[in-house]
Structures are given as structure tokens and as C-alpha cells.
Structure 1
Amino acid sequence: MLHPAQATVPVRSVAAGKTVSPAGRSNTASPSSLGLPRVLARLFLLPALFASSFAVAAAQPASSDGPIQESAGPDATAQQQTTAADGTSTAEGTSAPERRRRQRSLEDLIPDSAVTDPEGWASRGASEGRIAERAVAEEALANASGTPEPDAESGIDEAADFTVAWPDGEGLPQIDPLEPEPGIDFAADLDSPLDGVPDGREVKVTSDVTFVFPTTGVKFPSEDDFIARFRELSIIREYSNGEDNLALLAARARSDEELLDNLLRNYGYYDGYVTRSVSGAAGDAGAPDDAEASAAAEGGASERKPQRPNVRFDIVPGAQYLFGAIDLGQLPTAPDYEELRKAFEIMPGDPLLADKIVEESFDLDKALGESGYPFAAIGNPSLLIDHDRQQGDLTLPVAPNGRYRFAGVTSAQPDFLSGKHLSEIARFDKGGIYKRSDEMDLRRAIQATGLVSGVTITKRKVTEPANGEDGSVELDVSMTKAPLRTISGAIGYGTGEGFRLEGGWEHRNFFPPEGALRVRGIAGTKEQLAGVTFRRNNWHGRDKVLTFDVFANHQDRDAYTARTISAIGTFERVSTLLFQKKLTWAVGLEVVATDERDQKIVVGSNPRRTYFIAAAPLRVQYDASDSLLDPSTGFRLSARVSPEISVQNSAQSTYVRTQFDGSYYQSMGESVVLAGRVRVGSIIGTDIVNIAPSRRYYAGGGGSVRGYGYQEIGPRNGLGEPGGGRSLVEFSMEARVRTGLFGGALWAVPFVDAGNVSRSSTPTFKDMQYGAGLGIRYNTGFGPIRVDVATPLNPRPGDSKIGVYVGLGQAF
């Protein structure tokens, strides 16, 4: 007997003597058991057939023609019959050959009732018509023979003149007696009444479906999951529109009954059964309520409401079967069998759940892949159900096929990405135990370079396991190159920054492996730039980047103007969307030649100053948030320290620029995230006049205090222009609230920012500037698009009333 507990788990059933399905139906289908009822039926019907034939023969007048002629009606008995010389029977006016030649026309076949009342005849149906025709024919036969119809309730004496000549036995074939059928004992069971459905507790599953569970015995422990899965898979629920008629609902109920049978077996109830019943019909009148009954009693008219069809499933789960013997194939031959067996958590005596078999098979496959078995194979599971023991014996063919260690990585395109470089990208070492996750991680890392459009990794055996030693496996990597050149452009606008046009060209593998060359330029109302950047990704390790950047730019800010040439080298460990790291760092060396001046106080009294600066910046960040671009929980801490030497007019100054940032994120359910940020900076070691304006601290703008222009917060000169400072303090708080619009992708973000810049090296909270506003975030597949609109709460003369800021990712 096959119980489809799970599509991937074949099931066989065994029982002593016979196999019976959970619904009580026989599951054996031998030819003898199928043929016996037909043989018995034929034997029982033979006397009736003989009696019927003889009755017709007695009622029909004899004819030498052989076939019985149709009676013309009650008047046929008045006709005088004669016998012709050729032996044929004739009647007055019409000879027998003529009557045989007359064929019944199509009109003769139409009943009179169908002509006089077509709609009534159609509503009564064909069966009623056939019954009426048969009654007329029997009456005609009785009138034709002149013999009254015998009373079925009377004895044989009332029909004493009724004689039937027993057929001559000569010429009949001899019938050999049949042997008794061996399976005839089952007929004794037919005398016993069928088990009824016990009374139960009703559960309204959908508007069209009601479940009834028994109230006696053991409670169905999987009831909630059982109902939830039915709702997901039900044909009735999927196609219901509230207007289904009774026939359509009944057809769908048959499919759902099979679904419920399968679900019972999925949860281990192999003796359970389901009984369905359908009641009501769209458009049928339902039972009247009390008000209608009262109105009817008083003689008033009351319109009865139509009763909606409903399907009831009486579910009797029965006993839950348990796991019996468990056979895991060749798994015991593995050297670390005990650890692998722990990954397959099904034990004898556990409830027999088909889903558990699938889940644990997946867990075992994962454990094999993470324990050094790259060629392990797991076949399809099978169950042998024993109804006597109420257990299922599980067989899961497992073949470990030997344990292996990494031998290395080989590239099919060494001039593009060499095997040595791929080994540096990999997170495993040569000789380490094979792990499937390390192989998948290497695949993702190669794809993340942006140099390939496809990666194929093939495991190749180098040495076989032997004498208790592990084998070795090589990873052969084949890649499909992606387009390597990119031309990019962007147009933007920011309050305080003006219009900005950017363009660039990049070759991502100009110096293999992963040596990118980028040429870029900026043309804007406040800034112009031209630069060349060399960048080598994954240099001497995964996610380690070496960068050299040379550029010349001109900036015209409200606080200063500067013409600068810079050369910067940086080596850093970066965090990526593929692998967000908790700890990142960067070290660098920077050489700058800049010609700058503060904004003019008096025409001609503020000449330019030339600075030569050397710096060695160091940055460390710890990221405990849950997302790189859209965090909702956790925190981030970062520190930046840059010792610098500045030479201006042969005067040398040394100082240290420091900056500390912290942010915290707290989710308040699924729809609200509270976020806060603080920044503190200080320049220690020299007076502000010895620090180039472009190296000082400023505040204001989209990444600082929103509502104010870019770098417009801080001490101002006599013309009201910002002059920068040696210390910085900033605070921000915002609530990110999901709106539910666009499928929940749109968020509203009210926020408040505050900040201050001081000429002193000690941060101060005096003269704080505040801004507030409202932003929106639209979540995309890679991060939110940010639009913020803010206004200053305590503006100073010259501050804008509104600031608009657009960017990718959260503000912090």
C-alpha cells in the first residue's frame, strides 16, 4: 500500500493477513476479489432473466416469424387473424408483410407528452419518460393476450392458468462447477456496520470549509500547522470567489479530500481518515430564522435568504506512527561517523514526520559538505510502513565517498586571474579540510571582482583516501570575462555646493590581476577636478585594497578658495556588501601642495598663501550593525588620527587632526527604527592661522547638520563668511518609519540635527546650531535612496531657509 507522505519519500505498507487503508477500504486488488461480485451478480440474475423471457413469451401471441411483433394498442385484439398458405399471420385490412414493411417515423418516436407539454416533459427527465413508455407497453401486452396481470403479492393459485414450458435441456452446454474463491471470507465483514464519524469540535478554516476534529481521545498535536498548510494548498480556497455553485464546490472538495489524506500521512497519521460532506447551494433557500418563522405563523410573507454552499471535512487522525529502524546506508563507514550522525537528528521512536525526513537529509548533506566530503551522495529516502507496529522503517542511502583536504586552486585563464591570486582571495589554506562553504565563498568572491560574468568550479581528485589518510582535491576555476571598461557620468545639485557634472573612464583589469585604472573629472560651479587613480583589489589578501590617487582641483567655497595638487596612497581593509566586516582599517600617506586664501575681508588685504603638507592618516572602525547601507540594529564606532606637517613661508607647523564618530540603531518593531549619531573632532598642536583653510573643521550640509548650507556653521569673519575652526561637535537623531506605501518600500524620516564649530581645540556646546526636517527613503535592492528637506531652527543672518539633500544610503 502506498501512502504519499511526501513526494520525495516513497512509502510501502505491510500488515499481517491483509492490508487496509486508513479509511477502512481494502487495499488489495487481486483479480479474484474483483471478479467474484460480478460472478455472483450474474448467477443471481439468471432466474430473473429466464422468468422475464418466459413472461413475455406467454403474453405474446405465437408467430412463425420468430421475432415478437409490437402491439398496435388495445384494439388489436378485435382484429381477426388468419393463417396464409405460406404460414404467415395476417390481420384484417393489412397483411403481415405490409406491417413489417412499415417503418416507424421520427414523429412516432416522440412521446405525446413531449408534444403537448415540452417544458414539463423535459423537467421530468428521460427516465420518467422511459418508465411511462414501459408501463404503456406492459398494458398493451396484457390487453393483447387477454390475461390479467398477476398480482406480485398474491400466491400461485391466483394464476393457475399461467403455465410456462420449461426449456428443453437438450442442446444446452454443460457448466462446470466453480471452485470456491479463497478470499470469500471478506464477505462476512459486510454484515458488520461501518464505523461512524464521531462527534467533534468544529473549526472554521475558510468561508467555504469547516473542519471537525474528534473531542475524545488524544488531541491532534499538529492541528495548527495542519490547518495552516491546508490553507496554503487548498483548491477550494485558491479558486473561491464567493459565488461557487454546489457542483463546482463538490468537485473541488474531492481534490481537497485527497490533500487532507496526504497531509495526515505527512504528519504520521497512517490510520487516519477523512469524510467529506457538501451542503447548501447557491440560490437555494435556507432555513428560515426566528423572525421569518414568526412572520409565516402570522400569515405574512418572508423572503428566505439563499444558503451558501459549505464543505465539511470530518477528520479522524487516529494514532500517530513513529520511526522504527533507521538505515543510513554507508554512513557508518565514515571516520567521523559519530559527529555526522548527530547532524541527522531522527531517532527510533520519534514521531514519523515526512517534513522531518527532508529537513534532516538536508542537514546531513550540509554536515558532509562541511566535514571534508566533497563527493558525498545522498539518495532518495523510502519508508516501510508496518501497520501492526504502527511504525515506519526509514532507509536513506548515504555514500560518503571519502574525506578530502584542499590541494589548491588552478585557473584556466592565468593571464587574466592567476591561480596564485585566486588562492589569495580564498578563505582556506592549502591542506585544510574541505568545506563546501569555502568553495561557495570563493565563487562569490570571484564574481564580486566585477571582472567575470560567470564562474565554474570543478573539484578534481589529486590523491585518493588510503590507509586512514585523507585524500586531496584541487579546485579548477574557469571564468567567463565580463566587459572591463566603463564610462560613467553624473549630474547633481546641492545647497552650498551648486551644480556638479562628473565623468569618468575606467578599466577594471588594466594591470592584471585586478589592477584598475580610472580617469575622472568634475566640472561644477563650486569645484573643478581632474585626476587619475590606480586601484588594486584583493592585494595580498581578501578585501585588502591598495590605492594611489593623483589629482588637481580648484574649490570655491563660501569659507575659502583653494587650488590644490595632491598625491595620496592608501592601504586598507574594506567592508563590502558581500562580506560586511566588524573591523576595518586604513593607513596612508598624503602629500599636498595647495594655494589658498580666506574670503576677502577688505579688497586687496587678503593675499593667497601656499601650504606644503605631509600627512599620515590612520583610521579604525568597528561595525556591529546589521547592514552596511541600511542598518536597523547595532552600533558603529570609528576613530581617525592624522599627524600632519605644514610648511608655509618657510614656517613649519606640526599638529594632529583627530575625529571620533559613533552611531546607534534600535528597531522598535517592524515599522520603526530609531537612530542617533555623535561626532567630535579636534586639531591639537598649533594655532588656527598655521592651518590651511581646507584642513580645518566645518559643519553643515547633508552629512552634517541638515537645514544649513555646506560648511556654513562655525565662526564667521567680518563679512559673515565661515572661517572654520579647530574643534567640532555634531549630534543627530531621527526616526525611520515605514509608511506601507509602494509595498512597504517607502519610509518617512523626521529628524533633528545640531552642531557647532569652535576656534578652540576643545569642543564646546556653546552657540549650537539646530536644524529639523522630514525625509523619505525608498528601499531598492542595494540600498535606500535618500531625499531630505530641512530648515534651520535658529538661523543666523545669511542662512538659507530650506535645504534639500539627495543621496544613496542612510544619512548615517
Structure 2
Amino acid sequence: MAAALALLASPFAQPAAAQERQDTPSLEDLIPDAAVDNPEEWASQGVPASDEADVDAQVPLEADAPLAEMPMITVPWPEDIDLPQIAPLEPAEQEIEFVQFEDQIPRTVAGSEERLSDELVLVFPNDTALFPQRDEFLERFESLSTVEEYDDDGNIARLAVQAREDEALLGELLRVYGYFDAQLQRSVGNVQTSVEADVDPPAVRFDIIPGNRYTVGAIDLGNLRAAGDQYDALRRAYDIQVGDPISLDTIEAEQFDLDRALGESGFPFATIDAPSLLVDHDRDEGDISMPVEPGGRYRLGEVISSDPDFLSSSHLTQIARWDQGDIYRRSDEMDLRRAMLATGLLGSVELTPVVVQEPTATEPGVVDIQADMTQAPLRTIAGSIGFGTEEGIRLEGSWEHRNLFPPEGMLRVRGIAGTQEQLAGVTFRKNNFRGRDRILTVDAFASTIDYDAYDARTASLIGTYERVSTLLFQKAFSWSVGVELVATQESERAADGRDLARETYFIAALPLYAQLDNSDDLLDPTEGWRLSGRVSPEISDNEGVQSFYVRSQVDASYYQSVGENTVLAGRVRVASIPGAPLAAIAPSRRLYAGGGGSVRGYGYRQIGPLNNTGDPLGGRSLVEVSAEARIGTGFMDGAISVVPFIDAGSVGLDPTPDFNTIKYGAGVGVRYDTGFGPLRLDVAFPLNPGPNDSWIAVYVALGQAF
């Protein structure tokens, strides 16, 4: 039947030839009466024998044959077929309830609500003792919540999806705090805050039943007891005891504490695998397992350089903060790596402890530190440009080779071309000379200076040996000692503005410097204080007349944060030169005030006693006071801050301070945080200007004014 139906429907049926139609057997010939009377018996007889010609002669019916010649085939209409009934599916459990919170949700427990936003409400038990971590938990959940992450658009479908994610997050956070049997009820719908209020947009509510907080059961720290007499101290460093409430945060933190303690107690090869927690719900406890292998305990030996011609082993051992024989400390190893990178000579440093002597049952072994390093580019060409409304333009350039005289022997050639100053000089510097962070510097230069108060032609040779703060290592105590030899020809201005005859001074000085630094940052302090002092005994020969005097100066500054974005800063400077009259002191060695690092609003060195033309003479005493507020803003992700300030200063002719002619300046500045330090732009105005003072001054520099 199927074949016949397919044939009738086929559009590719072709009419047979006439002679073939004449030989086509009828249906009665093909299906005898015996087949109709007893089909099974007829079928069992098989196919009657016939030659292949007869079979091949059989052809299909013509496509246009009358249907009357076809046997009647009836197919029941689908409506008459009795199909079996399919059992109805059970309705799926509803996951989300779209109801009114206040009126229709049955409270699982009597609790207090914490509304984090219009879309998010958490309900905790009233008894805070059941969940004492509530405040910390809320802050942590709010920062991670997907409901809180996206905008409130009133889309309940979006909210339902996020609610499921937040439910998983809540469960994970509860386990972090040791609540492994906590129950959560999630509801999504509309919140009604009061009977009279309108229905607010959709929101999510979580009812939280924390359950019992699990405690620590057994603690397995692997082979930690192999640390011998250090075991007790190391076990105290791992501050988790049996019976403590479980906190996954604490378990992770204590892993790092134990690792740090091993590294600081002489175990350079200690290993710690990640901790695991086996929770037993029958005991309400969790067992901690953390495999620890301390390895041997060692003392420190030498530093072995991979490039001794560049940086020798003895030099690296000298700048290390340990002495040979000290117990190994990982912090000493990391400190040496930072110090090596701070030289500016190395592109990369890798330090590896190498066993020299194995430990015994009673004595630690010895390890040397193998220093594998690659050189950084050693030559640098640098330049800078500056401008001040009173100082004019200043261009400065330099070339240096940082290891021309190994180890760490630098040679620099520098020059200055400016409106008021020109200079050419050469500097030799030896870093880490005879001790860590100690610097020997020899500087020789010749300069010409043309200020309103005087002009000078000077040749100087200065040598210093110092230990001062750097951008990488800010030090609580800094110091410097030096020798200074100066030959200078200087001329003051006459009352009519003419340069007086030049006088030659030969000066020898022993400058000393010390500073206590309690601030939290070298370039941008926000807390703390600084106190520094300078003393320079000097002898001067002027045309055969010798004079002895002492130049001294004290600086103090204080920094205090107020709120989150404001720092109040203040500074005081007092200086004096007793021992010789003003005329016996070269103009370049006198005291002046004014400028970007002094009293803003006035020109550089423009404050002080004046001659008849209004030009400063310099003085033998100085007092400066400054105060400013560094106020952060939200501009450029907080990189911009605004700084209103006020400065005051006075210079006197006598060694004791003179407060009769105090100059005041005020203004506002902008700071841009570069990440390296603040870039400073100050605009200042003199509040009681003299006849030669401009009405405005602008200063640009790196770092705060003080």
C-alpha cells in the first residue's frame, strides 16, 4: 500500500510504451482467488516459477491510468483513531514568589531588616549573638552582590536571575564564617514600606537563619615538629586552636603567617601546601589539614655575584643588611634585592639560597645567596625646563654613566642655561660607599648668577659623605658631612642701580646636616612630622680681611589628615648667621627669602632689607611660616587636589630674627598625582608687596612645597 501511494504521488512517473501496456497482467492475474480465501496458506507456497523475461516485462502503471482500475484503499481519518491519553505532568515547584513583602510573606524567623538599597533587603535574627559578624558580613556581601552591581531599572525578570546568584553568594559567605548549616529563603516581589505608601519597584529579600557556627576540631600541620626548638614559636605564629570558631579567612591568613614565620626563623627551604577543611556535620566541627615541611635551619653566608666584574661579591655582601653568621631571614633577602635594583644598574635580580653546609642536630647549616642579575642601560641623557615669573626660564641638561668606575662609581656632566643662572659642572658619585646607603660625592662646577641683589662669578669644589632619604628608601634619620671650597667674585647693586666694584672672596666651610623624619611619604606626606638642622662653620678671606661666622638653620614641618581627602600642613624655618658683620659676608652666603619653596607670591630671594633702589641686600637672620590645606577632589579619579595656602617671612640685618618687616603671600595651587609624586602648580599674590614686587607669581615643580 505504501509503495502504491508513493507512486501515485510521484511527479516523475512516465507513461509506458503501447506494446508494454498490451502485455501488462491484470490484478486478478497477480492475486488469485486462493490468495484472497486463505492468504497465509497461499503465501507459504512461495513465488511461482517464472522466467526473468516475464519479471523484466513488468512495468509500473501509467500515471494517468483511471483510478477506477486501482483497488480501493481506505485509511481512517485521524479523528477516528483512539490515541492513548498522556498522563498530565506534575507542575514544577515554584522558585520565585512575586508577592508583597510586608503583607503577604510569612516571616520564617522573627528578625530585623537591613535594607541595602531599594532592590535588596536582608533579614537577620533579632538576637545579634546568633550572628555577631553581621556588620562585616553586610559590607562584604554588598560589595559583591550582583543586585547591587547593576542599575535599578525595575525589571523583575533581571532581578529574579540576580537573586539566584546572590543566594549562592550568601551561602558561600556564610560558609566562610563557619555557618555550614545555614538556611536561606529567597523572595522576589514588590516592597511596601507602609500601609499608606504606594508600591515601590520590585526588590529581593533574603531571610537568613545562620544556625550553629562550626568550630575547629583536629589540626594537622604535617611535619612542623621537625623544626625542633623553633616549633613552639612557629606554632604560636599559626594562631588557630582547637575549639576556635571556623573562619576560612583566618585559615588562609594563618597559612601566610606561618610561612612568614618560617622564612624569618631560618628556614629558607620550607614548603607549605594549601590547607584543607574536612567538615563533620555530626560534630559541628571542621578538621584542618595543612602539610608543612620546614626543611633545615640555616645561617647566612656571603652573597655570590654572577657578574663580579660589574658588581663584586664583596660589594654585594657589604650592602646586605645582615652579618655573616646571622640566622637566615627572608626579609633580609628581599631587602637586598630591592637595594640592588635601587642602584639603577640592574634590569633584573634573582636571589637563590645555596647550601654551603648542611645543618646538624644541634647547629644550623649555612647558605650563601646566589645573585643572578642582568645589566640595565648605564648611560642617561636627561633634560628639564622650568619657568617662574620672577626667576625666568631655566634649562638644565646632563649626561651620566652610572658605573664608569665599578662598583657604582658614577660620572655626570651637567649644565644650566637660564635667565638668571648659567652653570657647567662635573660630578663624581660613589653609591653604597663603605656602607649601605652611604654616598660619597665630589662636585666641581663654575657658575654665573645675576640676581637683583647681586651678581656672582663662582668656582666651587664640594665633597660630601651622606646618608639621606631616597625615593625608594625613606629614612627616619638622615645625615651629611662635607667640605666646601669656594672662590667667588661678587658685586652688589649701588643705590642708582649700578654694579659696584667686584670683590673676591675665598671661602672654606664644613657643612653639617641632620634630619629626623616621622612622615609617611617623602614627596606627598599626609601624617607625621620632620625636623632638620644645618650648621656650617665658615671662614672667609676678602681682600686680605679674614672673617669667621656660622651659618645655621632649623626646619620643622607637621602634617595631619582631616577626614578622608584633606591634609593640613604647616612649616617653620629659622636661620641665623652670627660671628661677622653683614659686609664681611659674601652676598651669596647671606640669608634671603621668597620663591616657590619659601614665601610664595614674591620673587626668588626678593624678601629682605632693601637698598635705595629697592633691591634686597640679604641678611643674617630669617624666619618663615607656611600653612596650607591639601584638599582632594573627585576629578580625574581623585588625581587632582586643590591647595589654598598662606606664607609669611622676614629677613633681618642682625643675627636675631626681625619681625618688623614681615612679608605675606597667599594663593591657591593645584596638585596632580602622577603616582610618582604630585606635580605642583601654585599661583600666589603678595599681600603687602614692595615697589619692585609683581602682583602675581606662578610656580611649577615636582613634589609638595614642603
TM-score normalized with structure 2 length? 0.83
User: Aligned partners of 1:646, 1:621: CA distance in 2, in Å?
Assistant: 27
Question: Structure 2 CA distance, aligned partners of 1:665 and 1:333?
Answer: 49
Matched, 1:534 2:445: no
1:234 aligns with 2:127: no
1:428 shift after superposition? 1.1
- The answer for the alignment partner of 1:727 in structure 2 is 621
- Partner Cα separation in structure 1 for residue 395 and residue 696 of structure 2: 23
> Shift of the alpha carbon at 1:478?
1.0
1:474 corresponds in structure 2 to 368
Give the Cα–Cα distance (whole angstroms) in 1 for the partners of residues 236 and 149 of structure 2. Answer: 40
Q: 1:681 touches 1:727 (CA, 8 Å); kept in 2? A: yes
1:461 and 1:698, CA in 2 relative to 1: closer, same or farther beyond 3 A? same
**Which of 198, 202, 212 is the matching residue for 1:319?**
212
Show the 5 A alignment for 1:505-524. Answer: 505-524=399-418
Aligned AA (2:607): I
Match of 1:30 in 2: none
> Within 5 Å, which residues of 2 pair with 1:593-742?
593-601=487-495, 606-742=500-636
The residue number in structure 2 matching 1:757 is 651
1:204 match: 115
Unaligned runs of 5+ in 1: 1-83, 109-132, 142-195, 281-285, 293-304
1:267 maps to a residue whose letter is Y
Farther off after superposition, 695-704 or 219-228: 219-228
For the pair 1:570 / 2:464, whether they are aligned, the reply is yes
Q: Which residues in structure 2 correspond to 1:102-181 (within 5 Å)? A: none
Whether 1:225 and 2:136 are equivalent positions in the alignment is: yes
The answer as to whether partners of 2:595 and 2:604 remain within 8 angstroms in 1 is: yes
Residues 566 and 632 of structure 2 are in contact (CA less than 8 Å); yes or no, is this contact kept in structure 1?
A: yes
Asked if 1:257 corresponds to 2:183, the answer is: no
Residue 275 (structure 1) shift: 3.3
- Which residue identity does 1:719 align to in structure 2? T
Q: Provide the rounded CA distance (Å) in 2 between the counterparts of 1:685 and 1:748.
A: 44
Instruction: Give the whole-Å Cα distance in 1 for the aligned partners of 2:579 and 2:625.
Output: 26
1:242-268 Cα deviation digits (max 9, x unpaired): 24343x444443333333322222221
Distance 1:621 1:475 in 2: 34
Letter in 1 for 2:290: L
Corresponding residue for residue 328 of structure 1: 221
1:60 alignment counterpart: none
Q: CA deviation at 1:603?
A: 8.0
Give the C-alpha shift of residue 657 in structure 1. Answer: 1.0
Matched, 1:746 2:656: no
**Inter-partner Cα distance in structure 1 for 2:127 and 2:613:** 91
Structure 2 distance, partners of 1:499, 1:398, is 64
Cα deviation, residue 811, structure 1: 0.8
Q: Deviations over 1:28-79 (max 9, x none)?
A: xxxxxxxxxxxxxxxxxxxxxxxxxxxxxxxxxxxxxxxxxxxxxxxxxxxx
User: Counterpart of 1:364?
Assistant: 258
Structure 2 CA distance for partners of 1:97 and 1:267, relative to 1, 3 Å: farther
Please state whether the residue corresponding to 2:130 is helix, strand or coil.
Answer: coil
**Which piece of structure 1 moves more, 742-751 or 370-379?**
742-751
CA apart distance, 1:221: 2.0
- Cα distance in 2 for partners of 1:501, 1:801 equals 25
Q: Secondary structure at the match of 2:637?
A: helix
Q: Distance in 1 between matches of 2:589 and 2:195?
A: 88
Report SS of the residue matched to 1:724.
Answer: coil
Match of 1:5 in 2: none
Q: Distance in 2 between matches of 1:602 and 1:744?
A: 52
User: Which of 444, 455, 469 is residue 550 of structure 1 equivalent to?
Assistant: 444
Secondary structure of the residue that 2:636 maps to in structure 1? helix
CA distance in 2, matches of 1:603, 1:620: 40
Deviation at 1:804, TM superposition (A): 0.9
Contact 2:130 2:210 in 1 (8 A): no
Distance 2:167 2:649 in 1: 68
In the alignment, the residues of structure 2 paired with residue 419 and residue 765 of structure 1 have an alpha-carbon distance, to the nearest angstrom, of 58
| Partner residue of 2:347 out of 431, 453, 470 | 453
Give the deviation of 1:230 after TM superposition.
Answer: 2.6
2:178 is matched by which residue type in structure 1? G
Question: In the alignment, does 2:338 pair up with 1:444?
Answer: yes
2:668 matched residue in structure 1: 774
What is the CA distance between 1:384 and its match in structure 2? Answer: 2.3
> Residue in 2 aligned with 1:274?
184
Cα root mean square deviation, aligned: 2.9
Aligned equivalents of 2:552 and 2:645: distance in 1? 27
| Residues 495, 710 of structure 1: 8 Å contact kept | no
Quick one: distance in 1 between partners of 2:148 and 2:498?
Answer: 84
Using the TM superposition, give the Cα deviation of residue 274 of structure 1 relative to its aligned residue in structure 2, in angstroms: 2.4
Q: State the Cα deviation string for residues 729-787 of structure 1 (Å, max 9, x = none).
A: 11111122223322222222111111111221222211111111111111221111111
Aligned to 1:809: 703
Specify whether residues 96 and 367 from structure 1 end up closer, same or farther in structure 2 by C-alpha distance, changes over 3 A only: farther
How has the CA–CA distance of structure 1 residues 389 and 613 changed in structure 2, closer, same or farther, with 3 Å as cutoff? same
Matches within 5 A, 1:331-480: 331-334=224-227, 335-480=229-374
Q: Is the 8 A contact 2:590 2:618 kept in 1?
A: yes
Q: CA deviation at 1:350?
A: 0.6
**Amino acid across the alignment from 1:253:** A
Helix, strand or coil at the partner of 1:539: coil
* Counterpart-to-counterpart distance in 1, 2:562 and 2:516: 23
| Runs of 5+ unmatched residues, structure 2 | 1-34, 40-66, 85-106
Q: Describe the shift of the 1:377–1:719 C-alpha distance in structure 2 as closer, same or farther (beyond 3 A).
A: same
Does structure 2 conserve the Cα–Cα contact (< 8 Å) formed by 1:537 and 1:544?
Answer: yes
Could you tell me how far apart the structure 1 residues matched to 2:590 and 2:294 are?
65
Counterparts in 2 of 1:389 and 1:649: CA distance versus 1, 3 Å: same
- Between Structure 1 and Structure 2, which shows a larger proportion of strand residues? 2
| Deviation (angstroms), 1:207 | 3.6
Q: 1:495–1:701: 8 Å Cα contact kept in structure 2?
A: no
CA distance in 1, matches of 2:570, 2:386: 27
| Structure 1 residue 546, shift from structure 2 partner | 0.5
The C-alpha deviation readout for 1:516-572, integer Å capped at 9, x for no partner, is: 111011111211110000111111112111000000010111000111111000000
Change (3 A) 1:602 1:774: closer
Count of aligned positions: 624
Letter in 2 for 1:461: V
- What is the rounded CA distance, in whole Å, between the counterparts of 2:484 and 2:376 in structure 1? 34
Can you list the C-alpha shifts for 1:440-469, whole angstroms capped at 9, x where unaligned?
111111111111111111111111111211
Contact 2:304 2:369 (8 Å CA) reproduced: yes
Change (3 A) 1:270 1:646: same
